Amino acid sequence: MALVLELLFAVLLLLHLGLVSAFSISIPQPIPNSYNGSKSISAHSNSLSLYFPIPPTGFRVTHHRYPALLLTTAEIYLWLFTFQSALATHHARELSIHILFFGLPIFSATIQVIAADPLLTYGEVIWGLYETGAEISRSGGHGMPDRMPAIGTSMYMSTLGLVGFISIKPNPVPGTWGGLLPAGNMSQEKTPSTASEKRSRKAASRVRAWAAGDARSTEDPDLVLHYHFDGRKLAPRQMMTAFLRTMTFCSEHHDDELGAEMVAFSADGFVRLRLEGVQAGGPGPYLLSWGMARLALRTLWAQVVMGFHGRYPVNPRWEAFSFFLEYRGVMIGEGYIG
């Protein structure tokens, strides 16, 4: 039964990631501009401090590393946030299913969440994945090591004890590289050798030397993100944890809720990611929904930061940049990480 649930969730997650158009702009409603960090605060939100989202009351984690089991760090960076952002579709107060599983033939590792208590919520899982990313980043220094040990995270609530467990470990049946492509069109290229990988990275460095560009969502082609790098280098751990923290905001709101805005700091507090909606016609209503914000952040992470276009993330770019969101030719949001 557990295996059936794992396979079902993997299929559903693939459908969620692509390659279908599931987002649209709702009729805008006025949103008061009276907050500093997250402009639209859910009635059920725990984020009393708008710059620092608050974990569920009584939530804590412990981590376990497995040095004998090594993983490719760039893969984990890419898919950890992808997995977390897909789960953030569910509201933080919604109860999680028993097993959440992310494992693909194109991914040499698996990410699994197992509920130890039926009261485990998606919000606690989102925070657990953030804390797992923060723990991973602590061993990376200012750079990103090529390899990292497998890791497990135990999640506890003070009133319930152990509520769930997250594991990131090698895929027992590794397959070929592929990625966020429409179903049936996955790349079947083999895992690149060290030499060919280095050549790909050098070529990608030349291609990505420009300061500005566009990224179109593979899930909703009407969403286009325009970005501009400013040349200031950032640590990979800072960028990853800032992105992971954004989902602690998104999970507290429904996808069709308008007025999305957030300021998400990295785990060390030195880098911030700001995203806010713009108003229609100057002083008009805000246009950015939380679902669209989540989709935009996933597109930025995969395509702009990790340089992922259906294959190995050949050349992640750890650099500050500004961006704005355009939907069907209308600007709906803007932001910056740095």
Cα 301 to Cα 36: distance, rounded to the nearest angstrom:
24
Sequence-separated (6 or more) residues with CB below 8 Å from residue 151: 63, 64, 65, 66, 132, 135, 136, 167, 168
First to last CA, the chain: 45
Taking residues 223-232, report their average pLDDT: 96
Query: Is the pTM for the entire model greater than 0.85?
Result: no
Residue 188, Cβ density class (10 Å: 0-12 exposed, 13-18 middle, ≥19 buried): exposed
Looking at residue 309, its pLDDT comes to: 79
Q: How confident is the model at residue 53 (pLDDT cuts 50, 70, 90)?
A: confident
Looking at residue 227, its pLDDT comes to: 98
Looking at residue 173, its pLDDT comes to: 65
Looking at residue 321, its pLDDT comes to: 98
Cα 249 to Cα 127: distance, rounded to the nearest angstrom:
10
55-107 pLDDT, tens digit each:
989 999 999 999 999 999 999 999 999 999 999 999 999 999 888 888 766 67
Residue predicted with more confidence, 145 or 301: 301
Q: How confident is the model at residue 285 (pLDDT cuts 50, 70, 90)?
A: low
Query: What amino acid occupies position 309?
Result: H
30-39 pLDDT, tens digit each:
222 222 334 4
252-262 pLDDT, tens digit each:
999 999 999 99
Q: How confident is the model at residue 140 (pLDDT cuts 50, 70, 90)?
A: low
Alpha carbon of 172 to those of 80, 85, 153, 166, 265: distances in Å? Answer: 18, 25, 20, 17, 35
25 and 289 Cβ atoms separated by less than 8 Å: yes
**pLDDT beyond 90 at 10:** no
Alpha carbon of 197 to those of 77, 194, 317: distances in Å? Answer: 18, 5, 16
DSSP 123: H
Measured from the Cβ of residue 133, the count of other Cβ atoms closer than 10 Å reads 25
Query: What amino acid occupies position 261?
Result: E
Residue predicted with more confidence, 263 or 202: 263
**pLDDT beyond 70 at 179:** no
Looking at residue 86, its pLDDT comes to: 94
Alpha carbon of 173 to those of 6, 74, 108, 220: distances in Å? Answer: 15, 19, 8, 31
Whole-number mean pLDDT of the chain?
77
